[in-house]
């Protein structure tokens, strides 16, 4: 990619030190980085560190007279190709969502006409708090790209989502955001803003609505399905829904309007995502159909292949085990891939215990989808991909097979989302 100018706003969190690595990586890729350090950020790293790493002046105050003469804050916000907020603290996200401009960083963010990428890092409770979720949803609706944080152990000793994504993943998001031509939405050509928008499309209001997936409607299925045997029993599988939810979140973070059709899972709805809860494969098929049209469909759900002829009454023990008559469920992915309303990009998942890639290639042809993301679900339950935080996948397409290293599910999701954005460009 050609050299771009990044304005990096460093917020006040312990993850601020990782901004130093981000500067180094961005410069290594040929980009120019200019930094703004908030008062909070200055408690964690110094302007000197950022100046030395970026080899550019560092801006800290709205009231630096010299800067106002040489470069006004409006100018500073507009000279960049992309504004990156890293780490974006809960406080900074709240101010951005509310349009508060009470220091240099927030004033720049309100004044910019450039795309903005926020990279959150905070305590897990703060990230999951209703106020933060509301703020993130608002920002995404406004066209700000808000990356999903990683899940894992935190500096405060707790565990969960809220960790700053790895600098390499941030660089990938930065470059994905930089590689997109200006969206027609930014130029005010929002068809149907008055005439009524198509379902799933979005009409961003911010001038920085240059998110790479803004205006795209993406359908994601996630989790298991439960197939009733009788009113109290069901057939299920071990899918946790984590990977599908992470993909929905990563797509929303890139500005997509996401419909997440979720089987029964105990996971919070990612900010800015429309969730439809279902129980059975047939419910899921109906919800997918109702959510069309979509630009892309990512079918991550572990749909039960069979359902039982359910009994209306609880089956009683009779000394003999009851015979379960199984009926095949609709194949949602194959049906969608061959449907006249097929989204432009259809992605399936394959969970296999052996001959992973060969099975995935056969599945690609059989299902008629564009890509299969294959993962190995063999191994003991405690190390299994199913329910675990990490995943090692192979991306199987008509062009070949890519083997991705083992990484957190949030990172797999970000990479998949970036590839989807590329494919839909
Ligand atoms: O055939 P298999 O279950 O291995 O295929 C997995 C892929 O197909 C996943 O993407 C899954 O979401 C999808 N699928 C589906 N409907 C089914 C079975 C699987 O959409 N009934």
Does the structure show a pLDDT above 90 at 195? no
The answer on 378 and 306 residing in a single domain is yes
228 with 158, same domain: the answer is: no
Q: Is residue 25 part of a domain?
A: yes
* Residue 35 is among the residues annotated as catalytic for this protein: no
What is the spatial order of strands in the sheet that 400-403 belongs to? 273-277, 257-262, 217-222, 296-299, 345-352, 371-376, 393-397, 400-403
Output the CA torsion sign for 115, 88, 220, 175: positive
d(CA 419, CA 396): 13
Of 368, 355, 343, the closest CA to residue 289 belongs to 343
Rounded to 5 degrees, what angle do the CA atoms 350, 356, 361 make?
Answer: 70
Element containing residue 287 per DSSP (H, E)? helix 281-291
pLDDT at 151: 81
**CA 411/CA 413 separation, integer angstroms:** 5
Q: Whose CA is closest to atom 19 on ligand 1?
A: 303
Report strand pairing: 150-153 vs 159-163: antiparallel
pLDDT at 210 over 70: no
Q: CB neighbours (10 Å) of residue 138?
A: 19
> Could you tell me which residue, 209 or 409, shows the higher pLDDT?
409
Last residue of a domain, one of 149, 178, 207: 178
Closest atom of ligand 1 relative to the 281 alpha carbon: 21
Give pLDDT, residue 70: 59
Tell which atom from ligand 1 comes closest to the C-alpha of 305: 21
> Is position 196 within any domain?
no
Enter the pTM of the model: 0.68
CATH number of the domain where residue 31 is located? 3.40.50.1950
pLDDT digits (tens, 9 = 90+) for 121-172: 999 999 999 999 999 988 887 888 888 888 888 777 888 888 998 898 889 8
Considering the domain architecture, whether residues 272 and 167 belong to the same structural domain is answered as no
Tell me the residue range of the domain where 151 lies: 5-178
Q: 336: Cβ below 6 Å to ligand 1?
A: no
For ligand 1, say whether the CB of 299 is within 6 Å of any of its atoms: yes
Pair (257, 400) in one structural domain: yes
Q: What is the pLDDT of residues 27-62, one digit of tens each?
A: 999 999 999 999 999 999 999 999 999 999 999 988
- The bridge status of strand 32-37 relative to strand 58-59 is parallel
CB of 287 sitting under 6 A from ligand 1: no
For the chain, the average pLDDT equals 87
pLDDT in tens, 336-358: 999 999 999 999 999 888 899 99
Instruction: Say if ligand 1 is within 6 A of residue 280 CB.
Output: no
Question: Percent of the chain having pLDDT more than 90?
Answer: 61
Are 160 and 223 contained in the same domain?
no
Confidence of residue 69 (pLDDT cuts 50, 70, 90): low
Its sign, for the CA torsion 208, 216, 406, 284, is positive
pLDDT at position 27: 97
Is 304 within a domain?
yes
Number of compact structural domains in the chain: 2
């Amino acid at each position: 990619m050609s050299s771009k100018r990044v304005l990096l706003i460093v917020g006040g969190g312990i993850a601020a030190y990782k901004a130093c690595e981000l500067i180094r990586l961005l410069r290594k890729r040929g980009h120019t980085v200019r930094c703004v350090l908030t008062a909070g950020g200055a408690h964690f790293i110094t302007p000197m560190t950022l100046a030395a790493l970026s080899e550019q002046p560092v801006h800290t105050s709205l009231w630096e007279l010299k800067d106002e003469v040489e470069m006004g804050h409006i100018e500073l916000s507009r000279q960049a190709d992309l504004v990156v907020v890293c780490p974006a603290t809960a406080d900074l996200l709240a101010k951005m969502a509310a349009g508060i401009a009470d220091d240099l960083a927030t004033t720049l963010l309100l004044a910019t006409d450039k795309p903005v990428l926020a990279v959150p890092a905070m305590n897990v409770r703060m990230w999951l708090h209703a106020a933060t979720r509301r703020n993130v949803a608002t920002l995404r609706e406004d066209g700000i790209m808000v990356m999903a944080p990683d899940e894992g152990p935190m500096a405060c000793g707790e565990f969960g989502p809220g960790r700053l994504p790895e600098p390499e993943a941030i660089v990938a998001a930065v470059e994905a955001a930089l590689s997109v031509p200006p969206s027609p939405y930014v130029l005010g050509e929002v068809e149907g803003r008055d005439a009524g928008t198509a379902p799933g499309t979005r009409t961003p209001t911010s001038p920085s609505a240059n998110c790479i997936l803004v205006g795209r409607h993406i359908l994601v299925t996630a989790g298991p399905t439960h197939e009733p045997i009788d009113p109290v029993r069901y057939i299920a599988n071990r899918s946790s829904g984590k990977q599908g939810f992470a993909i929905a979140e990563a797509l929303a973070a890139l500005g997509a309007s996401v419909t997440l059709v979720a089987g029964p899972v105990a996971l919070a709805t990612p900010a800015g995502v429309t969730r439809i809860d279902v129980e059975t494969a047939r419910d899921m098929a109906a919800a997918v159909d109702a959510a069309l049209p979509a630009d892309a469909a990512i079918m991550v759900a572990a749909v039960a292949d069979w359902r039982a002829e359910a009994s209306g009454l609880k089956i009683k023990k009779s000394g003999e085990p009851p015979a379960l008559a199984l009926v095949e469920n609709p194949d949602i992915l194959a049906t969608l891939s061959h449907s006249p309303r097929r989204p432009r990009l259809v992605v399936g998942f394959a969970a296999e215990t052996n001959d992973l890639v060969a099975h995935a290639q056969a599945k690609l042809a059989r299902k008629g989808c564009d890509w299969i993301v294959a993962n190995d679900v063999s191994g003991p339950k405690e190390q299994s991909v199913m329910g675990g935080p990490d995943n090692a996948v192979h991306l199987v397409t008509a062009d070949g097979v890519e083997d991705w290293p083992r990484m957190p599910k949030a990172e797999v999701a970000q990479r998949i989302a970036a590839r989807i954005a590329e494919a839909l460009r």
